[in-house]
Amino acid sequence: MSETPNPPGTQLNALLAKSSLPPLDPAQSRRFDDYLSLLLRWNARVNLTAIRDEEGIVPRHFVESIACARSLPIGIATLLDFGSGAGFPGIPIALCRPEIAVTLAESQGKKAAFLSEAVRVLGVSATVHSGRAEALSAVFDCVTLRAVDRMQMAVQAAAQLVRPGGWLALMTTIADLPALREAAGAELKWSKSLPLPGSEDRLIALGERSISLPA
């Protein structure tokens, strides 16, 4: 007698519940399952992420990114995922917050190609910028960063892409946060940091860029 397959997103929803986070609805769960399948297939031939198995990807990448999506303030309409890599946290944000138009910026061609395929397969409200985020001329309601190279330099550049009154969202560690806040500049006012699920030292830090007043 064959076993009945688990419903979509069973493991992910169990981990969300363990972290006191609301579950995904069935449609979201199916799309995260599709995202995982695509990620595992591409990761077999392209180095998208150092964590290469489902047991690592789901808690570290999916749960953390979903927690980030749910921590972002209401009213954000445009978001830039700076150095998106395999799409974290940008694609989960697009899946969980469909009202946000997400731009995934990635300078490495193979990773940008994966992002384009993921956007197509998942049907999310996102576009891919295959190039350096610093080259963008637009500003955004929110810019996210997570585990990018030369993080302090990236944060300095990312802060300039946040519109006045917008948000910079950093997924980092307690130890690294002070230097990153300094790199972001004095125009950002930081809210209380939020711990990331399943970690004692990782957190989400939200900085709001001040609105310049006329002289």
Q: How far is CA 169 from CA 18, 56, 57, 97, 206, in A?
A: 24, 23, 21, 15, 5
What are 70-96's pLDDT values in tens digits? 999 999 999 999 999 999 999 999 999
Q: Domain boundaries in the chain?
A: 25-209
pLDDT in tens, 124-149: 989 999 999 999 999 999 999 997 87
pLDDT band at 212 (very low <50, low <70, confident <90, very high): low
Higher pLDDT, 53 or 2: 53
End-to-end CA distance of the chain: 77
Residue 8 has pLDDT above 60, yes or no: no
Percent over 90 (pLDDT), the chain: 78
State the average pLDDT for the chain: 91
- Per-residue pLDDT at 149: 78
**pLDDT band for position 2 (50/70/90)?**
very low
The residue with tokens 């006191």 is 20
Cα–Cα nearest to 104, from 58, 169, 96, 114: 114
* Euclidean distance between CA atoms 74 and 53, whole angstroms: 33
Tens of pLDDT, residues 36-65: 999 999 998 888 887 776 777 888 899 999
More confident residue, 5 or 22: 22
Q: What is the pLDDT of residue 128?
A: 98
Least confident of 9-23, 29-43, 73-87, 156-170: 9-23
Q: Quick check: pTM over 0.95?
A: no
Pick the closest to residue 170 from 64, 78, 62, 12 (CA basis). 64
Q: Where are the beta strands (DSSP E) in the chain?
A: 78-82, 101-106, 126-130, 140-146, 162-173, 188-190, 194-195, 202-209
Task: Give the model's pLDDT for residue 160.
Answer: 95
Q: Report yes or no: 164 and 142 within 8 Å, Cβ to Cβ.
A: no
The more confident residue out of 19 and 128 is 128
Q: Which CATH number fits domain 25-209: 3.20.10.10, 3.20.20.70, 3.40.470.10, 3.40.50.150?
A: 3.40.50.150
Determine the 3-state secondary structure of 105 from DSSP.
Answer: strand
